[in-house]
Structure formats: C-alpha cells, structure tokens
Amino acid sequence: MSDMGAAMQTAAQERRGSTRERSDVADLEKQLVQNQLSPLPRNNSWSGPAIENSDMSARLREPGGFRRNFLHQQALQEGREVDGRWSERLIDTLAVHSFQVESHFYGLDLDEEPSAVRPVTGTAGDLNIAFLIFKGNCGCAILYMPRGWMHGGLVLASITVPMIGLISIWCSLLLLKVRMQDSGHQGYGDLIGAAFGLYGRKCANLFIMLLQSGICCTYFIVACKLLQSTICPGLGFNILIPCMVLVVLPVVAIRKISSLWPLSLLGTALVIFGILVVFGLELGALAHEQPDDLILSNWSGVLVCLGQACFMFEGIGLILPTFDASKNPQHFPWIYIVTQTGTLCLVCCIGLFGYLAFGQGVHNLILLDFQPNVLVFLVRMAFMIQVLCSFPLQMLPATRLIELSFFGPPVSDPPSARKLAKSGFRAVLVAVFALIAYAGASHLDNFVSLIGALCGVPLAFIFPAAAHYFLIERCCSDLLLMAFGVILTVLVTAVNLAAFL
C-alpha cells in the first residue's frame, strides 16, 4: 500500500509538473504573439522619473504603495522633486477655492487686512466650479419653498417658480457676458458703475447691503424656530433671539476671513445632508399623507410665491468670483447652466412634494411638518448649525460696505482702538438685525418674499439686463427684463408691506 501511495504521489507530481510546463509554454507563446502584434513597448503608468519595472512593481506592492504619503516620503528620501498633487487633499482644494470665491463676494475684498486676501486665480476645475455654483445657490432658503407652493397653488406655482429660476439664469449669463467683455471691472458694483456711473455703483452697493442684511435677519428667525422645535419648546422669540445674538457676536468680530472657511465648509456639508434628508422625508410623507385641500391656482397669493422664489435664486453675488476662479472659463457658461438647472429642479421637487404631502397646512419651514424622531431631530440641528456657520459670511458684504462710510478702507495692522470701534459697530449691526428679525418673525412668508422682491430682484434682474443693454448690445429683451423686474419689485413689495400693516 505504501508503494502504491508513493507511486500515485509521484504520478501526481509528474502530472503537475507536466501541466506547469504546458502552462509556461502557453504563456511564452502568448507573450511572443503579443510582441509580434504590438512591437512598440507599452508605456509605464508613472508620471515621475523613469523607474525600473521591477523596482516600481515592488514599491507598489508594499503596504500603502498607492497612498500619497508613501509617494511623498519616497521622493523625499531619494532626493527627487515632490509632485504637489501627491500632498493635496480634496477637502483642502475645495477649501482654497471656496475661500477665494467667498472672500470676493460681489467682487468685494472682504478681509480686514488687504494683504491677507489672495486674488481669485483660475485654478478650479470644472467639477469644482460646479460644486461652488451649487454651494452658492442652495441653502436654507429651500425650506420655504413648500409654503411658496401653498401661496401660489399647485399649477400656478409649478409655472411661476421655474419661470423665475430660468429668468435668473438668463440674467446671470447676461452679467457674465458683460464681465467677459469688460475684464477691467471685476466687481458687481464696478460693472454697474461702468454702465451708470458713480450713482449706479452706489445704488448697486445699497441693494447689496439690503439683501445681505435681510438674509441675516431671516437666519435669526430660522435658527430660533428650529431651536424652539428641538431643544427649547417653551421659550419665545423674545428670549431665543437675544441668545442667538450672543452666539454670533464673537464670530462676526473675526477679521480674517480665512479663519471662517472651516465654518463655511461645515455649513455646506450640513446643508447637503439636510437637503437629501428633507427630500427623502417628503417622499416618505407623500406615500402616507393624502391631503384633500390642495388648490390648483391661488391668484391672491401668487405674488408672495414669486417673492419667495426670487429670494431662493439669489446667488448672483458669487457668479463673478466663481468665473474668475475657473481654470477653463470657456466651459463656465455651460457648467453654470447645467448646475443651476439641476438646482432649480431640486428646488421645485422639494417645494412640490412638500405641498403635495401636507397641503394648505404646510408650515413656513418644511422641517416643522415632519413627525419628531431621531432623523428629524438631526436634520433640524444640521440646518440650525448651518445657519449659524453661514451667518458671518453672509453678513460680511453688508458690513464691509457700511464700514467704508464710517471707517474708510481697511488698513494693515490697525490700532487697538480701531479694532474695538469696529467690533462695537458690528455688534450694533447684529442687534439691529435681531430687532428686524423679531418684527418680521410673525409673518415669515411675507418677510422672505419682501426681501426677495425689494432687495433681490434689482440685483438679479434689473441691473444685469441694464448693464448688458448699455454696455454690450441694445436688445429689446433687456428692456423687457428691466420692465418685468421693476413691475415685480413694486407689486410684490406692496403686497407684502400691506401684510404688516
């Protein structure tokens, strides 16, 4: 038996050896055929200096061989030049470009120290530009849109809101066309000043101050409503708003905008998370709720709906610095159109689904309609933190323009007295915003609509069309846009002011 086993083992070894030999021969023949078919040597997938195949293969097989840190350390040890791309993280790249764009909101230098603000350079790729466009046009204002559908009605709002969104895209492209033709004026106020002179620039800066101040006021209301619905249900706005003032005062006193980019990045991550969760919660509510009080058209409230839509699409202040940051400016118009169209579709879906799920009883903040649970609590907290993170950056354009009248242009290494005076001045502004927010909280729908129409429509519709008409080409469409903007501003402002009287 032992002899038979040994014989079987020997035969198996011979078969394995024979199989191995045949496999080796087959591999050799295959390699020869490939060499005959492709006589040119294949290039190595390596962008650095020439490295022997065996050496490179051995390195890549080591633990962490594909990691940036490994490649970085290997290059330093061997005295080779380090490729900067190895040490760049995606979050750092987004932070740098986001900081460059936000530090030039409306083309303004928002940092206290002029030397600290780096000029916007064309280094952002197409995907990064799309992210920056979405980031600048999608925030907590999306929470108002289901209520906008309630004011306009199912059919009427589904027509008017997309119309406002498409007109805002059109006007942004007109402003971009003016900027591309007049590269000497990079700021929003500079372009309007080129079309209308000094008074035109002052008028544009005035509406920038009004719009950003109004956004800050709505932030107070949103944060307090969410705080009231999650942690402090027994406290009124007369207590919550002063508490919010105390929270934001230390942050708005920060003078270096580069210190605010972590807050901005955190706010962006939270709003993306919040929007996705809200969309899912609406779909879940739509599957269970079937309200019978839906209205197809509500002509008496359509103007309020239009004002809320105008407030939603107010990202025109970032289009110029985002364009300047683009590495491929020739691609920017199409990237902007695609990204903004996608944002418009998202806004319409959230507004429409929220109204279909909750009907005429939908709250002015859609988050207040969902049944309380852990996920709803988290998304409410996410939007509340996002509002607090975004508040300083939203306030800076208004602060910078107002401070120019009182303190003059910023100076490097200012004295302590100047710093204290500016901090006190910003504290007064925050207190004024809080008082306005307290007055407008009782009619949040009308307050948001008023800001969108009175402060936003001139910046988004009237001024871009007028600049294009006087600086580029005298088109009838520009006159129609200007007339539409003026009529919309007057009518919506009058309707919303009447609600407070």
In tens, the pLDDT along 197-252 reads 888 888 998 999 999 999 999 999 999 999 888 888 878 888 899 999 998 888 88
What confidence tier does 2 reach under pLDDT thresholds 50, 70, 90?
very low
Q: Does residue 20 carry a pLDDT above 80?
A: no
User: What pLDDT is recorded for position 110?
Assistant: 67
E strand spans, 191-284:
none
Most confident stretch, 158-162, 256-260, 291-295 = 158-162
Q: How many domains does the chain have?
A: 1
Mean pLDDT for 138-154 is 89
Structural domain for 103, as ranges: 92-500
Residue that wins the pLDDT comparison between 417 and 458: 458
Separation in Å, CA 17 to CA 5, 75, 105: 18, 43, 73
User: What pLDDT is recorded for position 183?
Assistant: 64
Residue 37 resides in a domain: no
Q: What is the pTM of this model?
A: 0.78
> Structure tokens of 350?
């959230």
User: What pLDDT is recorded for position 438?
Assistant: 92
Residue 14 resides in a domain: no
Residue-wise DSSP of 345-360:
HHHHHHHHHHHHHHGG
For 275, residues 6+ apart whose C-beta sits below 8 A from its C-beta are 138, 142, 346, 350
Residue 442 resides in a domain: yes
What confidence tier does 50 reach under pLDDT thresholds 50, 70, 90?
very low
Asked if 112 and 327 count as a contact pair (C-beta separation under 8 A), the reply is no
CA distance 265 to 251: 15
Q: 34, 14, 346, 333: which is closest to 174 by C-alpha?
A: 333
User: What pLDDT is recorded for position 185?
Assistant: 60
Residue 47 resides in a domain: no
Q: Is the four-CA dihedral 417, 422, 428, 434 of positive or negative sign?
A: negative
Domain of 174, CATH number, reads 1.20.1740.10
Residue 57 resides in a domain: no
Residue 60 resides in a domain: no
Percent of the chain with pLDDT over 90: 27
Q: Is the four-CA dihedral 427, 432, 436, 438 of positive or negative sign?
A: positive
Q: Does residue 58 carry a pLDDT above 60?
A: no
Residue 473 resides in a domain: yes
Asked if 282 and 354 count as a contact pair (C-beta separation under 8 A), the reply is yes
Mean pLDDT for 129-142 is 82
Residue 317 resides in a domain: yes
Mean pLDDT for 250-277 is 80
What confidence tier does 27 reach under pLDDT thresholds 50, 70, 90?
low
Task: Tell me the backbone φ, ψ of residue 307, rounded to 5 degrees.
Answer: -65, -40
